[in-house]
Each structure stands twice: as structure tokens, then as C-alpha cells.
Amino acid sequence: GDVNAFNAYVQLFTMPLLMLGLMITSLGQAMASLQRINEILNTPIKFEDGKLSIKNFEDIKVNNMSLNIDDTQVLKNINFEIKKGEKIGILGLTGSGKTIFLKTLIRALEPTSGEILLNNENIKNYKIKDVRELIGFSFQENFLFNGTLFENIKFGRDISKEKVLKAAKIADVDEFAKEMKKGYESNGGERGSNLSGGQKQRIMIARAIAPKPDLLILDDATSRLDISTENRIFDNIKKEFKEISIILVAQKISSVKDCDRIYIFDEGKIVEYGTHEELLKSSVLYQEIELSQRNHE
Ligand SMILES: Nc1ncnc2c1ncn2[C@@H]1O[C@H](COP(=O)(O)OP(=O)(O)OP(=O)(O)O)[C@@H](O)[C@H]1O
Ligand SMILES: [Mg+2]
């Protein structure tokens, strides 16, 4: 109704890059997609925008960060670090705060106490738009809309066709797009209903890497992929984007074991961190996860 139309309108200004491309590509499609995208991006910016620009990622340091939602403390005293070029893994049981944590890093949620430093400056002081251009993210919910594979990767942004197709290749979308009659012009269906779980995940990864972000955040983005496909994608990413930094939330230890550091979340806290080898020695939780997954590989 009117309220939705108004929201969509407002969104056009808050998310101009995302929407404009879609509007131009195909208006009818865009209107159908609008509601879906609206749902997706309905993370209104509730807090003040910063003034500083940022173009390059050096590091993130999270110091004693806590976050309350309503009256519940969902993140407790988080200390975390990632430097340029590092690949960081995050593991933890369901509901342990992994997604919420990632959302603070792109300013979709604001810490209640403590601080997030991006290149040694409080993340609050940067323009949100800049932060979200620097950091590519793929959240675990599947945010595909009823459009072509190409449009789902491009996601309405001002990204050249070459870059979109390159991202698709890196994320191994090529593998199944080529098999489809219309290739990248094939329709993914409502919420990607024409695609398998692993195909949807590859589209989401392609979408996240298409703008060549300095820092890539993948929340449970590879759970439906087999290990060889997953490895191939990460090898491609590292080959194409040499300086890229990655934060990877995963379910499988095999997804994170080569990371520079792995953080273990439990009940909103980071209970342990280290390399795969260190955690195998020091963390009972990690040992348990490793043991339970050993026979499935
Ligand atoms: N919008 C919200 N409002 C209130 N509480 C929330 C909200 N989103 C998540 N939570 C709560 O915060 C806690 C952490 O949720 P989060 O989604 O970060 O878990 P997770 O580690 O990502 O789990 P999973 O592995 O299932 O994805 C949960 O207890 C959840 O119920
Ligand atoms: Mg999650």
C-alpha cells in the first residue's frame, strides 16, 4: 500500500546505488523486486552517520564491545582483530552471536559499550556508505529476488558487466549458469526457487565480491557447498584479489582450518581463539566439533 510505496521511495534515497540499476534495467521487474529488496535492506539507519571518508582497509580492532538488544545482552565484551590480508574464521553454536557481531562491523547495529576501530578510528566517525563499499558482505539468509542470475549478482549497483561476470566466474556460478538454457539471463525464481541451495550460495558470494571489496564478510555462505567447490572458490578469490581480507563464519571446521585465526563464539562471548592447531590443543569445544565432523569428510 501507500506505506510500502513510501518506504520504497525512502529506500531509493538511502540505498540509491542498489536501486538505480534495477530501475533502469527493467522497471516492471524492479517493482516486483522492490518489495523483496526492501525487506532485505530494511535495516534503517537509526544512528548518526559519520563524516570521514574511507577508501582502504588496514585493520579492524574491536575492544570490549558489548551489545544489548532490548534488555538482553547479546554480545559480551568482545575483543577481536583482523589485519589487511588476513583470513579469519568464526565458529560457534547456533544463537551464539556470530551474525549479530558481523552486523556491528558494517554498522547495521551499534555497540552499547566498547568500540570498533577501523583503521584506528572509531567506525562511528565514517560515512556508512563508505564503510559498506569497503566491506562486502553476504548474510546467511538468502536474499535472492525474482530476476535473472545476472541481475541477482549485480544487485542494482553501478558495476560493469565485465566485473559482474568475473565475480560470477570466481564464485563458480559459471559452472551451473553455462548449463542453463539462457545462461546468466535465466531466471532464478522467487527467492531463488529455481536454484539449489549451493547455487544460491554461489550467487550470494558473487554478489558480495562483485564490487571488489577490501574486506569480505561471509556469514555461513558456504554451508551448502562441497569442500572441493568451496576450496576452489577461495583459491579463485585469493588469486584474483591478492590483498583481500576475509571474515568467514562457518559450520565446518574444514572451512576455517587454514585461517590465520579462528574465533569461537559461545553465548555472545568469544571464548577462545587461535589457529586450527592451537585450538585442537587448547579448546575442548573445538575438539568436540572436530571429532563430530571427522567422519563426515
Ligand atoms: N533482531 C533481534 N532482536 C533481538 N534478539 C536477536 C535479534 N537477532 C538475534 N537475536 C538474538 O541474539 C542472539 C544471537 O543471534 P545470532 O543471529 O547472532 O546467532 P548466530 O550465532 O548467528 O546463530 P546461527 O549459527 O544460528 O546463525 C540469539 O539469542 C538471538 O535470539
Ligand atoms: Mg547467524
Residue 141 beta carbon below 6 angstroms from any ligand 1 atom: no
Q: Which atom of ligand 1 is nearest to the CA of 100?
A: 18
Looking up cell 558482505 gives 137
Lowest mean pLDDT among 14-18, 74-78, 92-96, 242-246: 14-18
In this prediction, residue 16 carries a pLDDT of 43
Lowest mean pLDDT among 30-34, 140-144, 149-153, 225-229: 30-34
Looking at every residue in the chain, the average pLDDT score rounds to 85
For residue 7, pLDDT over 50 is answered with no
Residue 295 beta carbon below 6 angstroms from any ligand 1 atom: no
For residue 268, pLDDT over 90 is answered with yes
- Tell me which of 28 and 227 has the higher pLDDT: 227
Any bridge partners for residue 246, and if so which? 87, 216
Question: pLDDT confidence of 138, banded at 50, 70, 90?
Answer: confident
Q: Which ligand is nearest to the CA of 74?
A: 1
Distance CA 277, CA 168 (A): 33
Residue 99 beta carbon below 6 angstroms from any ligand 1 atom: yes
CA-proximal residue: ligand 1, atom 18 (nearest): 97
| Segment 62-68 mean pLDDT | 97
Query: What values do phi and psi take at 25, rounded to 5?
Result: -55, -55
| Segment 103-128 mean pLDDT | 94
Distance CA 183, CA 166 (A): 14
Which domains does the chain possess? 1-44 (no CATH), 45-294 (3.40.50.300)
Distance CA 102, CA 250 (A): 13
Tens of pLDDT, residue by residue over 187-201, are 888 778 888 999 999
Helix or strand run (H / E) with residue 92: strand 87-92
Helix or strand run (H / E) with residue 24: helix 16-25
| Segment 222-226 mean pLDDT | 91
**Coil, strand or helix at 253:** helix
Question: pLDDT confidence of 46, banded at 50, 70, 90?
Answer: low
Residue 100 beta carbon below 6 angstroms from any ligand 1 atom: yes
241 alpha carbon to ligand 1 midpoint, in Å?
31
In this prediction, residue 145 carries a pLDDT of 85
In this prediction, residue 189 carries a pLDDT of 80
279 alpha carbon to ligand 2 midpoint, in Å?
22
Distance CA 271, CA 215 (A): 24
Q: Which ligand is nearest to the CA of 100?
A: 1
- Tell me which of 40 and 291 has the higher pLDDT: 291
* CA 33 to centroid of chain Cα atoms: 20
In this prediction, residue 45 carries a pLDDT of 53
**Percentage of the residues of the chain whose pLDDT score is greater than 90:** 65
| Segment 100-104 mean pLDDT | 94
97 alpha carbon to ligand 1 midpoint, in Å?
5
**Coil, strand or helix at 293:** helix
245 alpha carbon to ligand 2 midpoint, in Å?
20
Q: Count of H helices and E strands in the chain?
A: 13, 10
For residue 22, pLDDT over 50 is answered with no
In this prediction, residue 188 carries a pLDDT of 84
